[in-house]
Amino acid sequence: MALGTAMDWRGGLDAGDLSAEALVRQSLERIRSRDGQLHAVLATDASRSLALAREADRRLREGERTPVLGLPVVLKDNLAWTGLPATCGSRMLEGHQAAYDATVVSRLLAAGAIPVAKANMDEFAMGSSGEYSAFGPTLNPWDPARVPGGSSSGPIVAVAAGYAPLALGSDTGGSVRLPASFCNVTALRPTYGVLSRYGLTAMASSLDQVGPVGTTAADVAAALQVMAGPDPRDSTSVDLPRTGALFPLQPADLKGKRIGLPVEYWGPGLAPEVREVLEAALDQLAALGADLVEVSLPHTRYAIDTYYLVCTSEVSSNLSRFDGVRYGYRAPDQGLDLADLISETRDRGFGPEAKRRILLGTFCLSRGWYEAFYLRALQARTLITRNFQEAFRSVDLLATPVSPVTAFPLGAKTGDPLSMYLADVFTVTTSLAAVPCLSVPAGFAGGLPVGLQLIAPALADVALLKAAHAFQLATAHHLTTPPLPS
């Protein structure tokens, strides 16, 4: 079986030419033969996945149809799937098993998708390269000497390397879009609230979103359809208008659509070889009839500072629950009192990036500094959000690079946290503004993938996916697969 898109496989399953069991066996076999090199996967439960596959085959034989029935899916290890490890890439949760299903997981299961693996990630979703997992880095299938991007390194590589046609990552400041750009897959960050965060281990709660990943926008849309919608267990969840139009996804007619190019994103910081690829993609959008117009998002220059103040503040609060008392790792108890046991546990359990953020965030929220840092960051966040609202008064979509560079070599940024943070320069703004955005494959520079970011107004996720679908019907970059060990 070729790699295939989820929608190709959908057709085969519905026609009875393919079985879910065969697809799941293929997934497990590819993980077995390829993951020794790539290290995208942290855990599998083959017998459970095969039992779910046989159940999906029974439902298919009985004539049931859903957008994802019988399709294998890989889950980032910060999403709960009952009984499987949920380590979040951290020693702190080594050996911890989920006691319930995340809402997105239970909705996928109800629709008949089959989880086949829990996937590697930067510790607690902090990172841009996939190198901050306590269990070792994930490698880029296009060049194993390079990073795949993070923090959803495992889910993205799982799709890029053909382990599964679909995966779920999470995106706080770019964590599905950046690796999608580095590995040539399609990944969506929905409008904040469209996907429930129940069962997604919190990093920065006002920014975290689950992000569906696939080969195409149509595949991503199919997964989104079965997961979207309000959840009583997540008070920030919202209803997505026009969810019915997600499957089967029809392409947008781009004729006369206005696509804004924010000048702040297309400046001199962009590597020339990346610019060349992206300009060809813009020409393609113009050939489809879109009007490309310059716009400005003037507060973009505050985005990285704002994001890393808001994010670390929320991290310091969210990660306070890891105390070695209730669950997860506990330091050896050598007659320590409770306070020392907690601090010893946190010292040994968290990696350097988690500690850095807890310290920064605690400082930002501390008395005397709160107004100077956290409160100002919230004010800047409002200005950044207003920039987008203003831009969307005159354009339907925005188009930007996902990253100023292609996948960088392993180790290139691990010694310099600030340069790692700067990798997110084009992705954190939309997270702060809570608007939907996606990364689509746009071509190759020096043999490495380059992603184009498309951005839509809040709750226009369907229109965004339709526009990406139109682009993908006119291009074939997303169908190019990496050289893989057989």
Query: Where do the H-state alpha helices sit in 270-302?
Result: 272-287
Binding site for ligand GLN (CB under 6 A): 125-128, 151, 170-175, 203, 311, 424
Between 74 and 290, name the residue whose CB sits nearer to ligand GLN.
74
Three-state SS for 305?
helix
Between 10 and 413, name the residue whose CB sits nearer to ligand GLN.
413
Q: Which of 76, 118, 257, 466 is catalytic?
A: 76
Between 310 and 470, name the residue whose CB sits nearer to ligand GLN.
310
State the minimum distance, in angstroms, from the CB of residue 189 to ligand GLN.
Answer: 8
State the minimum distance, in angstroms, from the CB of residue 208 to ligand GLN.
Answer: 7
Told to judge if 133 belongs to the known catalytic residues of this protein, a careful annotator would answer no
* Distances from the Cα of 100 to the Cα of 47, 81, 82, 200, 316, angstroms: 19, 6, 5, 11, 25
Three-state SS for 234?
strand
Residue 5's closest CA among 479, 464, 482, 483?
Answer: 479
Task: Identify whether the C-beta of residue 300 lies closer than 8 Å to the C-beta of residue 264.
Answer: yes
- C-alpha angle 49-96-121 in degrees, rounded to nearest 5: 75
State the minimum distance, in angstroms, from the CB of residue 196 to ligand GLN.
Answer: 17
State the minimum distance, in angstroms, from the CB of residue 424 to ligand GLN.
Answer: 5
State the minimum distance, in angstroms, from the CB of residue 451 to ligand GLN.
Answer: 15
What residues form DSSP beta bridges with 167? 74, 213
Told to judge if 151 belongs to the known catalytic residues of this protein, a careful annotator would answer yes
Between 192 and 471, name the residue whose CB sits nearer to ligand GLN.
192
Query: Where do the H-state alpha helices sit in 93-169?
Result: 103-110, 153-160
Cα 177 from Cα 356, distance rounded (Å) = 24
Cα 471 from Cα 252, distance rounded (Å) = 9
Q: Which of 175, 316, 403, 439 is catalytic?
A: 175
Could you tell me which residues come within 8 angstroms of residue 329 by beta carbon, excluding any fewer than 6 positions away? 91, 92, 93, 94, 95, 345, 348, 349
Cα 377 from Cα 485, distance rounded (Å) = 46
Cα 182 from Cα 451, distance rounded (Å) = 7
State the minimum distance, in angstroms, from the CB of residue 169 to ligand GLN.
Answer: 8
Between 101 and 131, name the residue whose CB sits nearer to ligand GLN.
131
Between 75 and 311, name the residue whose CB sits nearer to ligand GLN.
311
Dihedral through CA 348, CA 352, CA 358, CA 359, nearest 10?
A: 100
Residue 65's closest CA among 247, 196, 249?
Answer: 247
Told to judge if 175 belongs to the known catalytic residues of this protein, a careful annotator would answer yes
Task: Identify whether the C-beta of residue 458 lies closer than 8 Å to the C-beta of residue 191.
Answer: yes
Q: For the chain, what's the residue count? A: 486
How many C-alpha atoms does 68 have within 13 Å on its Cβ side?
33
Between 132 and 247, name the residue whose CB sits nearer to ligand GLN.
132
Query: H helices then E strands: how many in the chain?
Result: 15, 11
State the minimum distance, in angstroms, from the CB of residue 195 to ligand GLN.
Answer: 14
State the minimum distance, in angstroms, from the CB of residue 242 to ligand GLN.
Answer: 26
Q: Which of 151, 181, 431, 439 is catalytic?
A: 151
Tokens of 483: 């050289």
Between 88 and 442, name the residue whose CB sits nearer to ligand GLN.
88
What residues form DSSP beta bridges with 119? 41, 76
**What are the residue numbers of the active site?**
76, 151, 175
